[in-house]
Amino acid sequence: MKKVLHIGFDDTDSLRGSCTTHLATLIIHEIFDQVSFLDFPNLIRLNPNIPYKTRGNGAVALRIEGEEKNLEYCKEIVIEKVKNLSEVDDENTNPGIAFVEDKIPKEIIAHSQRAMWDVISIKEAEDFSSFPNVEIIKFKLGRGIIGALGAIGNPLKGDFTYEHLSYREPKNFGTKRLIDSESIYSADKETPLTFNNVDYEYNSIMILPRGADPVFTGIRGETVEEVRKAYSLIRPLEKLPMQMVFRTNQHTNQHFTEKFSIDKLKPYISAIVDAEVTSKPFYIEGSHLIFSIGDTTGKIDCAAYEPTKRFRGQLSKLLIGDKVTVFGGIRPAEKNHQMTINVERLKITELVKNTKLENPFCSNCHARLKSAGKNKGFKCPKCSTKYRELLPNEIEIPRELNLGEYLPPMIAQRHLTKPQVRENRDNTTTQKPIKDINSILADLVKN
């Protein structure tokens, strides 16, 4: 009798190298002929503000079906690969594995939803080991079980995207990625349902990682067909031994679900805050922009850092009294600064009028009047006519901002940030059983 098994793992890489998706692809190669896959491998990005993360705080879930003996074989392969291929020599790498048989408990789904924006302890995740259909395996501190369960508990019932990943030969890890750059621009133009391939504003290619990890390219899009087509159009100049397609929550804003009043904010969470600008934006050393917002419960600083480029310039035009919704991660208070919202996106809901006072003109000679002294009205500098009852004219200055959302440029966006090109896209309503998953995966494994 066939059974369903959900496999999750996380915290296998480090800043020195390795990659959880690469590990997942190696596992898929090992177990593919033993079971059926119920979905493409899921790449689930969790709260990006967690201090222990390496790069994108991504965990992987595999959802398979097979005979019990074959599922046991798959478990052994997963444990072996995670144990032997994780960056366990790095003190910050603490891998974790979770296995969930058949139906995912609602408590794990709730854990996953919370893991998108909150900080969860290892102890909280360990408590799921008491569930009869849940098995947890820790290496070192085992912090990875938080993400492993988070990935399993997120079956991507809401909005989702796809990412095609290609991988390098081990001998090339850490070296410059060799590719015909022009082919990337061509592929981008020929695949309108892919996105974030090139940041044309800053002339930066986005599909090539910059670290020492095994990934060669990452192409993101709305459909499996489109990301695979884009990959077929690029021209790598080095041998790429493996590729895989992941279904993922990347670029869906899934970490922004919870609204908070300012007094309820706490370090490292992803938060949405409705407030009013309470201080004029200003730049500090390093070209970072700072301004404050307030609601009925308190005030807090907001920061747009130098890498966000033009985003800082846009937010620098905010005025005291503007009403905004701020989306960002909460940076804890430190010696030189108080708790701060690191702004990831900002929505302007109401703009105050920007005005200035100007002296009126002389009705006789039309020269601009000068002050005649405190509480003495005005005097014409040309004909000396005095005007004791006149008041300054209030002039409205056009605002350089509009109502709506503002985002950093593509080069400064996080994995979960929903880019402007996706503002009117949402795959939630297009969910349907994906046909030929196993035949597509077979093609990916063989090629």
Residues 118, 269: Cα–Cα separation, whole Å: 5
Q: For residues 7 and 124, state if they share a domain.
A: yes
Please give the single-letter amino acid code of residue 418: K
- Write the pLDDT tens digit of every residue in 376-429: 899 999 999 999 889 899 999 999 999 999 999 999 999 999 999 998 898 887
Q: For residues 246 and 360, state if they share a domain.
A: no
Q: For residues 79 and 198, state if they share a domain.
A: no
Residue 16 pLDDT: 67
Residue 210 pLDDT: 86
Among residues 155, 177, 204, the one where a domain terminates is 155
Residue 81, pLDDT > 70, answer yes
Q: For residues 144 and 32, state if they share a domain.
A: yes
Average pLDDT along the chain: 94
Q: For residues 405 and 385, state if they share a domain.
A: no
State the distance between the two ends of the chain, measured CA to CA, in whole angstroms. Answer: 32
Residue 432 pLDDT: 63
Q: Tell me the CATH number at 174.
A: 3.90.600.20
**439 located within any domain:** no
Range name among 165-179, 298-312, 343-357, 370-384 with the lowest pLDDT average: 370-384
What tokens appear for 158 in the block?
């809401």
181 in Cβ contact with 235 (< 8 Å): no
Determine what percent of the chain is predicted with pLDDT higher than 90: 85
**440 located within any domain:** no
**286 located within any domain:** yes
Q: For residues 409 and 271, state if they share a domain.
A: yes
Among residues 155, 182, 204, the one where a domain terminates is 155
**293 located within any domain:** yes
Q: For residues 41 and 110, state if they share a domain.
A: yes
**409 located within any domain:** yes
The separation between CA 108 and the C-alpha centre of its own chain, rounded to angstroms, equals: 22
Among residues 137, 155, 173, the one where a domain terminates is 155
What tokens appear for 307 in the block?
């890498």
Cut 0.85: pTM above it? yes
CA angle 38, 44, 47 (to 5 degrees): 155
Q: For residues 44 and 117, state if they share a domain.
A: yes
- Write the pLDDT tens digit of every residue in 325-339: 999 999 999 988 899
Mean pLDDT value across residues 350-374: 92
Q: Tell me the CATH number at 408.
A: 2.40.50.1010
Q: For residues 121 and 192, state if they share a domain.
A: no
Domain count, the chain: 4
Residue 433 pLDDT: 62
Residue 236 pLDDT: 97
Q: Tell me the CATH number at 108.
A: 3.30.70.2200
**447 located within any domain:** no
**62 located within any domain:** yes
Residue range of the domain that includes 29: 2-155
**284 located within any domain:** yes
Q: For residues 7 and 150, state if they share a domain.
A: yes
What tokens appear for 369 in the block?
């009047």
What tokens appear for 405 in the block?
């959302």
Confidence of residue 212 (pLDDT cuts 50, 70, 90): confident
Q: For residues 235 and 377, state if they share a domain.
A: no
- Write the pLDDT tens digit of every residue in 19-32: 899 999 999 999 99
Q: For residues 411 and 360, state if they share a domain.
A: no
